[in-house]
Structure 1
Amino acid sequence: MPHSSGGGSHGGGSHGGHSSSHSSSHSGSRSSSHRVYDHYMPGTNRYVYYKAGQPHYYYSDRKYQKEKSPVPFLLVFMAIWIAISIPFYIMIIHVPKKLVMDYNSEVIIEDGIDVFTSGEETELYDELTVFSDETGITPAIITVNNNEWKGYYNDLENYAYDRYVNLFPDEKHWLIVYSSDLAAGFEDWYFEGMQGNDTDGILTEKLTDKFNEIVNQCLTARTRYTVKEAFTEGFNYVSENGMKTSADPGLLLFMVLHSSIGLGIPLSMIILFLKQKKDPDEKLKENATLCPSATDALMEDTCEYCNGVYIHGIHTSCPHCGAAIKAKSGAIGYRLNE
């Protein structure tokens, strides 16, 4: 059904239409689930790993585990957030589409009170035709005396509604009713717009409010503008701006905040995680061997093939070169509890 696009009057001005935390070890090693120490602490086990031909030890309540990266989870979260946000991004941008002119699109000017000269009517018709060609919306301007509706309708809006539904079987017209009367000794004028529902994608509330403002200002300054010039100014503005792509400021602000939360925070977490100093022995610690005791002295021995030092009694082959180790120790010393 058609609805008001707003209007204005001599005394009332224009009006609008309706329409997670990480724990760090004592020695600085990273672990999200347990602590890692470089010396014995009660309740910990001793582990040995090898680097550059020498044994290295750490103490922990369980075997070292590399901290799980939150990056994959955060990336999935961001992807889901973007997918959910797509409809909102689409709503931000308003791209008007010209209406298909598959209806009677004859521009109508019905001047019932002779407010236009023949020359003015021709010029106004040309302006309305430009608007119609740009938008696919067919405009119609009807002028009537106030007596046509006062006393019969509550207001000009109801009268304009009746005129629309009786004139047009479609929802693609924009009817402007201009009403005036000089009986009171001054020109008591009104105007009201009635637009079909199919025009809403172009004749937005913001656009029609501006149209009403322009027309009302011009009609108020009657010494400088005629009625024809007032409507020409209004339609000229709509023709130039009605088909422009625009963004809703409120939704734009919402999406900036929305993106800051949904994308900015996870991205910051990813950057912070990637910038953390990694333990250079992380891989070696993951493959460490549990020592028989966390406090007893350990006997170190030397491989006769590669001269790498290893802990005697817990390996069947050299942890450095893989060669079989001698069954009897040729110990080079003991490693005491640190």
Structure 2
Amino acid sequence: MTPMRNSGRVFTLSRFAIYFEMVAQAGSIRQAATVLNVSPSAVNRQILAIEQDMGTPLFHRHSTGLSLTSAGELLLATIRAGKRDFEAFQTRLTALSGLHGGLVTMAVVEAVSDRFVPDILSEISKDYPRVEFSIKTMDFKTIWHSVSRNEVDFGISLLGSEKLSRRVRVVATLQAPIGFIVRPDHPLAAWKEARLSHVLGSRLIIPDATLAVGAAIREGLVAQNVDIKPAFSCNRIVSIKALVRSGLGVALLTQADVIDEEKSGELCFVRVIQSDIKPLRFALIHNTQRQLSAAAHATLDVITRNFHALSTAESAGSLPDISS
């Protein structure tokens, strides 16, 4: 038997695959040609050309018809397996294209619900317009429980010291530094970094302890033995930013909370240094036992890419437009 000279040709000739399978089923070139509505000579030429390329016969020729050789049986099994794989690919591609739509469910913390998540959904919806989304804003502990109980496709929560369930996988993380939020006309606006002592005479706006960022700030202040009495305490990030815009004080938030406002020049972020206030770490999580749809996989991939892009930019000292 001579060595195969061009095996790749077999897998690129879809017409041959159709002809070959029909001949194998019919056991006759003439009968296969009748079913395929082509001439017997066209079918025979395809078979002979591939046999010559492969350097081995695919059929035993008998007076009563054709039967597969061992090489022919192997090739038939390969073609049929390829058809099954391609059909599975087409099914996934159709679902991914949004033709069949689908529902993606997620649970997120408020810090990413105002800007990050809407931009992600805008990007996904351009490619998959029939996909529906269900977004629930929860506190970070509830999100972990919801993902652990397999109630949502995935969640964006905070990575803390709590014990992780073996069913919950952290797909990507994003570190968000905490700093002062001020208006552009505030003296601190021209600074990149500042210490807590620089705002001791200012009216401070601090998130409520029910928010993760508020709990982190208070924990840092206690560790540093700093007694700060805020002028305002609020449990909504949106409200805190509105207070700063109104000129009522200086807020403490994460840089992720003011991506939009930084870009527009409406508010400024000044990183806190020489402080026990630790950055927050966001985590993209999902339940390893959950079967994700093609739409959920696509959404997860986009969020993962954005997490990595933001992490790279944060390390470099600037945050990009996450919708780009």
**Structure with more of its chain in helix, by fraction:** 2
Higher RCO (CA < 8 A, seq sep 6+)? 1
TM-score, structure 2 as length reference: 0.31
Q: Work out which of the two has the higher radius of gyration on C-alpha atoms and give 1 or 2.
A: 1
Q: Given the two structures, how large is their TM-score scaled by the length of structure 1?
A: 0.30
